[in-house]
């Protein structure tokens, strides 16, 4: 082999080696690039996955909070709708007890005591009040005429526990009428409606024998809205004087009861008519005024002479002292 041929062959071999080396470098560079790209891609994917996870977690939290809030609102609404409500009491106050009967009528019923009304004690005059008058007219050797008048006013406040005021007043009214008809020792008991006196009224009259004489007892129980008026009126002829007419006493008692009912209406902004105007009722209120402790309880008792002794729900001992007793004995 000639020297020229060997030289050309060596050049070809050298060129081949160069191409092989370049190809190797390219392969190495490409592999490293792919490896670098893969290494770079992994954190990017992890970051993207983390962001995606955080976003979903936030949405879940919001959805959960919204769901919880909606549930709480529904529960609150259910609790509010479950709270009991009662009709507000129509009448909020009572008139002055010693002023519910006119001077003219008092002069007819208790001529010697018209100006001497004795107000009963009360811890809450807006809920209960009373006044009494007595008269002893001395007719010398003919004897004397005794008269006694008592007016009791009881107002019931609406309460979620005890119910609305008018319903309580109705129950108390019925109990008062029943007690008036069942007085121990009463004779010739008669009952009849008292016309044009509040929303409902009953007149009860009977004879009651005492050591001082024969007494004629008249009791008029009237209800107007959430207030009950109990009027007791009795009379007797003493020391030989003749007994008064039962009819006369009944008419006088019913007249006084009408005036007492009209005074209750007037004190609460209504006219002095004989029946209540139900259009003046207050709207229903979920927060009734007054408390159960101040509302009188529908549990009256009656003394032997027929007068009511009202017992308030929270202070029975005070009510017993506040309600005057109807004494059938003559006062000298």
Alpha helices in the chain (DSSP H): 3-82, 103-109, 165-180, 246-267, 316-322
* Model confidence, pTM: 0.61
Whole-angstrom distance, CA of residue 289 vs CA of residue 157: 7
Gap between the terminal Cα atoms of the chain: 176
Is the CB of residue 152 less than 8 Å from the CB of residue 302? no
Burial class (CB in 10 A: 0-12, 13-18, 19+), 292: middle
Whole-angstrom distance, CA of residue 237 vs CA of residue 41: 121
- With a CB cutoff of 8 Å and minimum separation 6, the contacts of 46 are none
User: Per residue of the chain (332 residues), what is the pLDDT tens digit?
Assistant: 555 555 555 555 555 566 666 656 656 655 555 544 554 455 545 455 555 555 555 555 555 555 555 555 555 555 555 557 889 999 999 999 999 999 999 999 999 999 999 999 999 999 999 999 999 999 888 899 999 999 999 999 999 999 999 999 999 999 999 999 999 999 999 999 999 999 999 999 999 998 888 999 999 999 999 999 999 999 999 998 999 999 999 999 999 999 999 999 999 998 654 333 333 333 333 333 333 333 333 333 343 333 433 333 333 333 333 333 433 333 33
- With a CB cutoff of 8 Å and minimum separation 6, the contacts of 239 are 143, 144
Name 190's bridge partners: 205
């Amino acid at each position: 082999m000639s020297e020229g041929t060997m030289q050309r062959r060596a050049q070809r071999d050298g060129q081949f080696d160069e191409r092989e080396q370049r190809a190797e470098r390219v392969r190495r560079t490409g592999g490293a690039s792919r490896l670098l790209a893969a290494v770079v891609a992994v954190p990017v994917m992890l970051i993207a996955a983390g962001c995606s996870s955080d976003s979903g977690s936030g949405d879940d939290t919001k959805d959960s909070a919204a769901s919880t809030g909606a549930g709480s609102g529904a529960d609150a609404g259910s609790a509010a709708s479950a709270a009991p409500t009662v009709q507000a009491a129509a009448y909020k106050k009572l008139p002055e007890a010693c002023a519910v009967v006119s001077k003219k009528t008092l002069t007819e019923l208790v001529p010697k005591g018209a100006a001497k009304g004795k107000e009963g004690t009360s811890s809450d005059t807006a809920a209960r009040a009373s006044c009494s008058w007595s008269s002893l007219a001395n007719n010398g050797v003919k004897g004397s005429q005794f008269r006694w008048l008592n007016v009791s006013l009881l107002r019931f406040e609406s309460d979620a526990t005890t119910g609305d005021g008018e319903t309580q007043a109705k129950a108390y009214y019925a109990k008062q009428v029943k007690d008036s008809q069942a007085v121990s020792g009463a004779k010739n008991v008669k009952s009849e409606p008292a016309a044009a006196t509040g929303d409902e009224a009953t007149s009860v009259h009977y004879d009651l024998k005492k050591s001082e004489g024969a007494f004629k007892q008249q009791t008029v129980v009237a209800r107007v809205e959430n207030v009950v008026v109990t009027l007791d009126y009795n009379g007797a002829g003493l020391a030989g004087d003749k007994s008064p007419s039962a009819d006369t006493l009944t008419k006088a008692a019913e007249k006084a009861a009408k005036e007492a009912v009209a005074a209750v209406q007037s004190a609460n902004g209504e006219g002095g008519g004989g029946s209540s105007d139900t259009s003046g009722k207050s709207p229903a209120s979920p927060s009734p005024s007054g408390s159960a402790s101040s509302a009188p309880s529908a549990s009256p008792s009656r003394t032997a002479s027929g007068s009511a002794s009202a017992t308030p729900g929270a202070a029975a001992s005070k009510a017993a002292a506040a309600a005057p007793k109807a004494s059938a004995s003559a006062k000298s």
